[in-house]
Amino acid sequence: KKTYNLKFLALYVKLLSLIQKLIERDQYATKRDLFYQLKPLFKTQASLDSLLNDLARTIQVPRSSLHILTTPKGQIAGYLELITADGNATAIPNFLDSIKDIRTNAKFVLIIEKDSTLQRLLDDNFLQKYPGVLITGKGEPDINTRRFANMLYKKFKSKMKFLCLTDANPYGILISSVYKYGSKVFIFMKSKLKLILEWIGLKLSDLENFHLKNKNNFMLQLNDRDKTIANNLIAKFEKLNEHELINELEFMIKSNTKAELQYLQNIDQSFLCDFYMKIKLEKILIQNFKDF
């Protein structure tokens, strides 16, 4: 144990030394850059990431304040001045603190679990039909994506609805809860990461109500990991009065089924954009929808 503590301390000091040099020179490095510099000391990227997270928690600052950047993961598209002129999705910038202002006339922000879903909506001209902002963290979001979503929320929460679209499985609901409530790893940054948003699906109950043909051909069975995530979320949501999410999770467990957004594309290429999202937006944005 003593040897382990000494080794941990040595890694900590070495990492602090590199960070000090970056700050003094006003330079930045990615986590990958650091890993290659410290490869003899760290066996895996994950072990370095864990130490970086521990350091950020200890001094309660985001990694960007340590001049450590992640490779941009999140993507945005929509009615924002940050978007490229051709209308394609672009990476969420690392230097969020350098953004002085954001202007938009969007009616909503739609946070999407998968990049493939965002690209499908763009291909179907979703933004030409509905003036919104699309964000994806490409699975579980990194801090930069969550900070950017929170930045939009703080500035536009009185003008826009914040929505979340994921697969109809426990992991999808987990991702929506990370955006809404944050994660234990970065609890010290909770005020800079959380936001109030509504999970709009995909819901198994929606698929039941649509009375779709051959629905069972596209349903998947829950695995052990799905069931563990579902039960953990139910216990968490009971304390937060998230009754709708609890009902959805219990329906998944009872039916032992889940479904992916890809399923809607298999019905029809434009089903997600022109049918499912149209129904959701009409219901949620009833006051603004007539202006679309």
Residues involved in catalysis? 36
What residues contact 77, with CB distance under 8 A and at least 6 apart?
A: 83, 87, 88, 89, 90, 118, 122, 127, 133, 134
Residue reference for tokens 């009971």: 238
Structure token pair of residue 139? 């699975």
Positive or negative torsion for Cα 84, 87, 91, 94: positive
> Which residues of 103-156 form beta strands (DSSP E)?
108-112, 132-136
Cβ-count burial 199-215 (b if 16+ within 10 Å, e if not): bbbbbbebbeeeeeeeb
Q: Strand 161-165 and strand 108-112: pairing? A: parallel
- Determine whether 140 is exposed, middle or buried from the number of CB atoms within 10 Å of its CB (0-12, 13-18, 19+): middle
Distance CA 62, CA 56 (A): 6
Distance CA 227, CA 115 (A): 25
Is-contact 187 154, C-beta < 8 A?
A: no
Q: Which of 131, 125, 159 is nearest to 291 (CA)?
A: 131
In DSSP notation, 146-187 reads HHHHHHHHHHHTTT-EEEEE--BSHHHHHHHHHHHH--STTG
